[in-house]
Amino acid sequence: MIKNISLLNFKCFNNCAIPLKNLTVLAGQNGCGKSTVIQVFLLLKQSYDKYHNLDKIIISGDYINLGNSSDIINEYTEGSEIKVNISNTAEGKLSIDMPYEANRNLISAVTMIDCEFEMFNIFKETFEYIAADRIVPQNIYSAINYSRNLGIHGEKVFSYLSLYGSEPIYELLRVFNVPAGLIYQTNYWINKLFHGFNFNIQEILKADSISLRYQEKGENNSSNEYRPINVGFGITYILPVIVALLKAQPGDLVIIENPECHLHPKAQRQIGELLAVVANAGIQIIVETHSDHILNGIRIAVKDKKVSTDAMQVLFFDREHVSGAFNTNVYAPAILDDGSLDYWPEGFFDEWDNALTELL
């Protein structure tokens, strides 16, 4: 697993070291650097997938399009290079030095690594990144695809379930009164989050595509099947997130943006608990969120002794204006055994209290 990444002169970071654990939650106001942390991983991933090394860094590629070199250099820097350093839990070290040239789409880099690239889970084939803009409800989904990845928008999730849904998930992620296959375990979580809903997928062989339907199931009866467009965004939108988490194996890296999108607060909290349980089983997760319900779900999982505090990391990003320049600060409040935080930075999920103060 990756345990630390440091950034020099990359976008809003002039010099910053960022610790990572099994579950790392990125929080803070818009434009404070949360997405930047994810973007640097995506830059490295798309560059490695293209060249199988990091001698060249692709700024606009399959995972992320950031423009050119002038768009990723810190505007307040006095240096002439961008640096990224990564270390992992096996004490492996990776250093990428990118001398700056303006308006380049491809940057030459000097890379030093003291182990195989695959020792860093970002470069493994099992890496998953689920972006904030995910698939929306449709009646028919894309053709069968034999990829083992879900796609950055989750667009391959139904193909994946159709082909590999019978495969058992990692033992520590299983709900044991449910069959071990991925599709059954996924349906368990859909049922839990959405009060009795299940999904059904079916291959349309002549059209080389997949249909999706939802159904409500009670103890003694089942409803008619509903088209996704008639059920709402939330169920379809969260499916790639659940599948990405449940199909992961120990050591894998899963990056998720805004899992709370289109979810009711109770479902958001339950997703927080799922994130914590999956991370506690040895999967590394980086999640960007604006949801205090996601955070509370994680905290509840800690308080209920489902997960260890040693596996959880909360990072709060904040921008300040000092001496004519903007600087990003990263705070790391610790989750204690009772689910509380050792301190609560100003601006960190405190808007509920601020609003109550005004109302009362």
Show the tokens assigned to 171: 């033992």
What pLDDT does residue 78 have?
Answer: 66
What pLDDT does residue 232 have?
Answer: 75
Tokens 């999904």 locate to: 199
What pLDDT does residue 144 have?
Answer: 75
Distance CA 258, CA 267 (A): 13
What pLDDT does residue 79 have?
Answer: 66
Show the tokens assigned to 116: 């195989």
What pLDDT does residue 80 have?
Answer: 80
What pLDDT does residue 324 have?
Answer: 64
Q: What is the total residue count of the chain?
A: 360
Instruction: Spell out, as residue ranges, where the chain has pLDDT lower than 50.
Output: none
**Domains of the chain by range and CATH?**
1-126+250-360 (3.40.50), 134-247 (no CATH)
Strand ranges inside 131-208, DSSP E = 140-141, 197-204
Q: Tally the C-alpha atoms within 13 A of residue 199's C-alpha that lie toward its C-beta.
A: 35
